[in-house]
């Protein structure tokens, strides 16, 4: 039973931090690329008005995700069930998933928007998705390390 | 650019101070009540007092005649006023829990009337996040996207109604999110989070819309001024809503602490 509890606390830590990661990457995307550089909006296949509306929704969701994720983690820490290695893994998985999802599904599959409206888009797409992939892999590596650590520490008790 | 409204500075000088005096009176009443119940059982959390006074200070800044006059001629001034009256002041005033304070201090007969109002169905309806959102953000869409704003520049009574509406609707919306007063039922946490999400998005959209399409239309303000005002609205409005989100989730955090670790607590 104790092991079950430990497992779900680990899952909670990971998902709480995942939320923060998704929110942070969305914020970076939204603030740097949408607002400062104005390379694209979230939905560019319609009018500018729709583009701004979707930006507003994305912006709102990212703010709430960051706040909700942080309080989730605080709550876990208070009850002593926060797993830091799992949380770091979740954070990087969140950052990477958003970046890669945005780069593949939003940009390529749904074609909601492109990174930038230039003639040769390929270098932008490669950098965007490669960055997402690297961050995601860091997340998986941290998760693997966290699991290994949990396995060795639980062996001490059995 | 010449402003079409010519105020008689001498004649309005005295009446300009009336809103400010009203706000200061409320602050004095609040402080008097806190001192009165201070020694009684339960007492009063002084963070609430601090918060309420911050809210009052923000209202006072917004209502200083100099700023009011600036706000009347310059959309940036109007926006500063809107942010203070409709977003920042309500956040701190609601955290000051003035209704709870009134319930503690007023005679039982009056308290019962207030409690009856708080418990009534129509108050539940009015203070529901959806209703409060429509009144709050809906009012802003109405003001900036219709000729109402230009109308309010020339009609003093409309001008006052707009500001009272900012305060009341802002307070109501903030209360629907983080109100402290004891009510029999309250919309679920996820309903409040969802409406906050819609509200932040709607506010961000409106400010960008104003920036891009230069609303309010046919106003005496220059394009540059409208864009500056829209920027103020976007960034400072965002910060106030982020603060509101932090308080809302902070309350969730506090409540979970009480339910997972039972300890004697006062409301």
* Residue A151 predicted with pLDDT over 90: no
Write out the two tokens for B150: 């230009």
* Residue B146 predicted with pLDDT over 50: yes
Rounded to whole angstroms, how far apart are CA atoms B81 and B77? 6
Work out how many CB contacts closer than 8 A connect A with B.
Answer: 58
Q: Residue A152: what pLDDT?
A: 83
End-to-end CA distance of chain A: 13
A127 and chain B in contact, CB less than 8 A? no
Question: Which residues of A are less than 8 Å from B250 in CB distance?
Answer: 71
Neighbours of B89 (CB within 10 A): 27
Apex B75 CA angle, B24 and B63, nearest 5: 5
* Residue B126 predicted with pLDDT over 50: yes
ipTM for the complex shown: 0.81
Which position has the higher pLDDT, B62 or A47? B62
* Residue A46 predicted with pLDDT over 70: no
Contact flag B242-A63 (C-beta cutoff 8 Å): yes
Phi, psi of A140 (to 5 degrees): -65, -40
CB burial of B236-267 (b: ≥16 within 10 Å; e: otherwise) equals bbbebbeebbebbbebbeeebeeeeeeeeeee
* Residue B176 predicted with pLDDT over 70: yes
Phi, psi of B225 (to 5 degrees): -65, -40
- CA distance to A37, A91, A149, per residue, from A100 (Å): 20, 14, 28
Least-confidence region, from A10-24, A141-155, B23-37, B122-136: A141-155
Q: Residue B43: what pLDDT?
A: 81
Question: Which residues of B are less than 8 Å from A63 in CB distance?
Answer: 200, 238, 241-242, 245
Mutate to test the interface with A, among B204, B213, B215, B255 (most CBs of A within 10 A): B204
Gap from A71 CA to chain B (nearest CA, Å): 7
Query: pLDDT band at residue B190, thresholds of 50, 70 and 90?
Result: very high
Query: pLDDT band at residue B266, thresholds of 50, 70 and 90?
Result: very low
Rounded to whole angstroms, how far apart are CA atoms B133 and B181? 19
Which residue bears the tokens 């001008």? B159
Average pLDDT over residues A20-33: 87
* Residue B144 predicted with pLDDT over 50: yes
* Residue B267 predicted with pLDDT over 70: no
Average pLDDT over residues A125-131: 88
Question: Which residues of B are less than 8 Å from A61 in CB distance?
Answer: 197, 201
Alpha helices in chain B (DSSP H): 9-12, 18-37, 46-63, 65-73, 75-82, 89-95, 98-105, 108-119, 121-126, 129-145, 148-154, 156-178, 189-213, 223-260
Rounded to whole angstroms, how far apart are CA atoms B249 and B234? 22
Q: Residue A45: what pLDDT?
A: 61
The listed range with the strongest mean pLDDT (A77-81, A90-94, B66-70) is: A90-94
Query: pLDDT band at residue A109, thresholds of 50, 70 and 90?
Result: confident
Least-confidence region, from A84-93, A115-124, B72-81, B227-236: A115-124
Contact, A99 vs A128, CB < 8 A? yes
Q: Residue B16: what pLDDT?
A: 82
Rounded to whole angstroms, how far apart are CA atoms A145 and B10? 75
Average pLDDT over residues B217-245: 92
Gap from B215 CA to chain A (nearest CA, Å): 13
Q: Residue A5: what pLDDT?
A: 53
A38 and chain B in contact, CB less than 8 A? no
**Contact map slice: A 58-97 vs B, CB within 8 A:** 59-61, 63-64, 67-68, 70-71, 74-75, 78-79
Q: Residue B101: what pLDDT?
A: 93
A49 and chain B in contact, CB less than 8 A? yes
Q: Residue A114: what pLDDT?
A: 74
Contact flag B245-A64 (C-beta cutoff 8 Å): yes
Apex A65 CA angle, B252 and B212, nearest 5: 125
Average pLDDT over residues A17-44: 80
Mutate to test the interface with B, among A50, A52, A73 (most CBs of B within 10 A): A52
Which of A41, A18, A2 lies closest to A136, judged by CA?
A18
Which of A84, A77, A81, A65 lies closest to A19, judged by CA?
A65
End-to-end CA distance of chain B: 55
Contact, B208 vs B142, CB < 8 A? no
Residue of chain B whose Cα is closest to the Cα of A49:
B209
Question: Which residues of A are less than 8 Å from B249 in CB distance?
Answer: 67-68, 70-71
For residue B45, the number of C-alpha atoms closer than 13 Å in the C-beta half-sphere is: 13
* Residue A130 predicted with pLDDT over 80: yes
Q: Residue B265: what pLDDT?
A: 45
Query: pLDDT band at residue A85, thresholds of 50, 70 and 90?
Result: very high
pLDDT tens digit sequence for B57-71: 999 999 999 998 899
Gap from B246 CA to chain A (nearest CA, Å): 6
* Residue A37 predicted with pLDDT over 80: no
Percentage of residues in chain B having pLDDT higher than 90: 69
Q: Residue B12: what pLDDT?
A: 58
């Amino acid at each position: 039973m104790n092991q079950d509890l430990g497992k779900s606390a680990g899952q909670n830590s990971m998902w709480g931090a995942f939320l923060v990661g998704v929110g942070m990457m969305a914020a970076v995307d939204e603030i740097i690329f949408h607002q400062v550089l104005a390379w694209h909006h979230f939905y560019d296949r319609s009018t500018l008005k729709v583009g701004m509306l979707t930006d507003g929704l994305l912006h709102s969701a990212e703010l709430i995700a960051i706040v909700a994720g942080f309080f989730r983690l605080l709550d876990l820490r208070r009850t002593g069930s926060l797993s830091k290695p799992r949380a770091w893994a979740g954070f990087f998985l969140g950052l990477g998933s958003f970046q890669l999802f945005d780069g593949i599904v939003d940009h390529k599959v749904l074609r909601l928007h492109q990174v930038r409206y230039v003639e040769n888009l390929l270098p932008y797409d490669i950098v965007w998705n490669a960055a997402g992939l690297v961050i995601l892999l860091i997340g998986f590596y941290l998760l693997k390390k966290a699991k290994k650590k949990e396995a060795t520490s639980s062996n001490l008790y059995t | 650019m010449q402003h079409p409204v010519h105020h008689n500075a001498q004649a309005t000088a005295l009446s300009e101070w009336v809103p400010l005096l009203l706000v200061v009176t409320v602050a004095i009443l609040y402080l008097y009540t806190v001192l009165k119940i201070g020694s009684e059982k339960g007492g009063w959390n002084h963070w609430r007092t601090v918060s309420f006074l911050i809210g009052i200070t923000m209202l006072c800044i917004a209502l200083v005649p100099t700023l009011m006059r600036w706000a009347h001629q310059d959309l940036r001034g109007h926006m500063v006023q809107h942010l203070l009256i409709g977003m920042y002041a309500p956040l701190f005033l609601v955290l000051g829990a003035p209704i709870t304070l009134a319930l503690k201090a007023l005679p039982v007969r009056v308290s019962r009337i207030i409690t009856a109002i708080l418990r009534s169905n129509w108050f539940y309806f009015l203070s529901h996040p959806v209703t409060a959102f429509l009144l709050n953000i809906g009012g802003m869409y109405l003001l900036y996207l219709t000729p109402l704003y230009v109308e309010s520049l020339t009609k003093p009574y409309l001008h006052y109604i707009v500001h009272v509406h900012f305060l009341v609707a802002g307070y109501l919306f903030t209360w629907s999110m983080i109100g402290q007063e004891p009510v029999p039922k309250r919309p679920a946490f996820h309903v409040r989070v969802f409406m906050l999400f819609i509200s932040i998005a709607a506010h961000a959209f409106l400010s960008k819309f104003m920036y891009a399409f230069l609303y309010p239309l046919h106003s005496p303000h220059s394009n540059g001024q409208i864009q500056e005002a829209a920027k103020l609205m976007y960034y400072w409005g965002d910060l106030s809503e982020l603060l509101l989100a932090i308080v809302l989730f902070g309350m969730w955090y506090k409540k979970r602490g009480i339910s997972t670790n039972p300890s004697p607590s006062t409301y």
